[in-house]
Amino acid sequence: MDLKRFLINKLILFFMLSTLITVAVCLIGSAFDPDAQFGYKTMLAPIGYAALCMLPTFVTYSKKELSPKALLIRKAIMFALLEGVMMFIAFTSKVIDTSRIEVVLVIAGSILAIFVLVNLFVWLKDSAEAKKLNRDLEKFQELHR
Looking at residue 41, its pLDDT comes to 86
pLDDT digits (tens, 9 = 90+) for 62-94: 888 889 999 999 999 999 999 999 999 999 998
Q: What residue type is assigned to position 36 of the chain?
A: A
| CA quadruple 56, 108, 98, 57: dihedral, nearest 10 | 10
pLDDT digits (tens, 9 = 90+) for 23-45: 999 999 999 988 888 888 888 99
C-alpha–C-alpha distance, residues 73 and 21, integer Å: 24
Looking at residue 138, its pLDDT comes to 94
Q: Give the count of domains, the chain.
A: 1
Q: Give the SS3 label for residue 144.
A: coil
Structural domain span for residue 94? 3-143
Looking at residue 48, its pLDDT comes to 92
Looking at residue 65, its pLDDT comes to 87
What is the percent of the chain where pLDDT is above 70? 99
Looking at residue 37, its pLDDT comes to 83
